[in-house]
Structure 1
Amino acid sequence: MSKEFGQRLLNQLRKQNITQKQLADRVNTTEATLSRYVSGDREPKADMLANIATALNTTSDYLLGIEQKDFDFPKVERLLARNSATMSEKQKRALISALFEED
């Protein structure tokens, strides 16, 4: 994870014009801890990784380098709109539950 994760995290911060301090506050950690993630000296646990991805409107897979492209909300929105007619009621309920379920 280390260097690639740190670089992707830094890129997202710059892209969204967010400071490390602002992100640290959003995900309930310290700026020092976040700085260690950026430098590659420390790796976030799964729950922190998910919180960071959510706060940056991206995916943990993108931050980890598993996905090469950043999260694209308009693309996802178009995909859902295009396919909603073919989704079963059970699938629609599962999607709504995933979107609005409290953590």
Structure 2
Amino acid sequence: MKAEYTIIEGTLETPELTLYGLSFCDHCREAKKLLEKMGFSFRYLQVDRLPKKEIVRIKREIEPAGVKTIVYPVLKTDADFLYGFDQTIWEQKLRQAAEVR
């Protein structure tokens, strides 16, 4: 079974964003709400709801080099990854990324 992303439609199509979260994570829910509030379109995936084999594959794609534990949520942008949720940092990075376009 391949990971099925939920597509969240917004008014801002760029940058291309993918949010990786956990179903029980309050910070993941806050990050999702922030992206929606800011008007971004993004793909969303609850990693812990996937089959074990798919979780391993996704973790390999998103884990930072040399780190064994991933801090969720993870936001993949066109050029970067953000790990863990800090609203101030996320807002700043997202505004910068949207302005670059």
Scaled by the length of structure 2, the TM-score of the pair is 0.30
Higher Cα Rg, which structure: 1
Scaled by the length of structure 1, the TM-score of the pair is 0.30
Q: Which one has the bigger helix percentage?
A: 1
Q: Which one has the bigger strand percentage?
A: 2
Between the two structures, name the one with larger relative contact order (CA 8 Å, sep ≥ 6). Answer: 2
